[in-house]
Structure 1
Amino acid sequence: MKRDMDLVREILLAAEAAQAVVSAADLSVTGEWSDAEVLYHAAILIEAGYLAGTTLAGANGTPIAVTIARMTWEGHDFLDAVRDRTIWERTKTHLRKAGAGLMPALVKEVAVGLIRLGVGQIA
């Protein structure tokens, strides 16, 4: 399955809004993604250290259940960088124009750069 950074952002937004431990299937994710896509992305967010939780995999290694306990510091940092929809869209546009993929570290770096440019314009 291909990583979808729009879904990553939506899962992090939903995880932040959750008040308690939640299963990936119960997340309020906005969009047209299948349950399998949400489970997969929640599992890789746990692997990447953006979420703390557990993954139950089936015989073929595909996630069949994911429980999210909380967001991690790294998850909060990433979400804070891409929370604003305008910053998010501009970040994706800049990276695509540069021919770069939407790698989480690069996404965060570009988003923070755009935020810094905006902060400089406020003064």
Structure 2
Amino acid sequence: MKLDRDCMRDVLLTIEEKVGFKESTSIQTLHTYPRLKDYRLVDVYYCVDKLTEAKFIKGFTYKGGPDYSELTFEGHEFLETIRDDEVWDKTTDALKKVGGATIPIIYELATSFIKTKLGLTV
């Protein structure tokens, strides 16, 4: 199954916005929030699973079903690089040229666009 980068970003933003400190939520509940409701439930599940594997969000099993809580420090750091819509659009446009990239490449590319936006590049 393909990892949808936009869904991944929207999952991170949704958890940050909607899930409180030391709270948790199910994937079904995440799927009802505005940023995620237009994705297929299976795509949200897959993104959450991969973001948990990458240690960007905390996940645990309670009463037989997975719940997801807050972002990890790494999740916050990654989200800060892709939060800005203009930076995200430039990043995804650049990735279309090569068909995709790993999370570290996405992070570096977004960081380079942020530096350019801030006038920090030479």
Q: TM-score, normalised by structure 2?
A: 0.83
Aligned partners of 1:42 and 1:75: how far apart in 2? Answer: 12
- 1:42 partnered with 2:48: yes
Partner residue of 1:72? 72
The question of 1:30 aligning with 2:35 is answered yes
Shift of 1:102: 3.3
* 1:53/1:42 CA distance change after superposition, 3 Å: same
Q: How many residues align?
A: 113
What runs of 5+ residues in structure 2 fail to find an aligned partner? none
The 3-state SS of whatever aligns with 1:70 is strand
1:64-112 CA distances to partner (integer Å, 9 max, x unpaired)? 9531121011110111000011100100112222x15132111111001
Matched, 1:5 2:5: yes
CA distance in 1, matches of 2:95, 2:43: 23
Relative to structure 1, the CA distance from residue 26 to residue 69 in structure 2 (aligned partners, 3 Å threshold; closer, same or farther) is same
State the TM-score, normalized to the length of structure 1: 0.82
Q: Distance in 2 between matches of 1:94 and 1:77?
A: 21
Q: Secondary structure at the match of 2:3?
A: coil
SS of aligned partner of 1:38 = helix
Matched residue type, 2:3 = R
Which structure 1 residue ranges, 5 or more long, are not aligned? 57-63
Q: Give the letter for the 1:50 counterpart.
A: F
Displaced runs of 4+ in structure 1, greater than 6 A? Answer: none
Between the two proteins, what is the percent identity of the paired residues?
Answer: 30
Matched residue SS, 1:2? coil
How far apart, in 2, do the equivalents of 1:55 and 1:40 lie?
Answer: 16
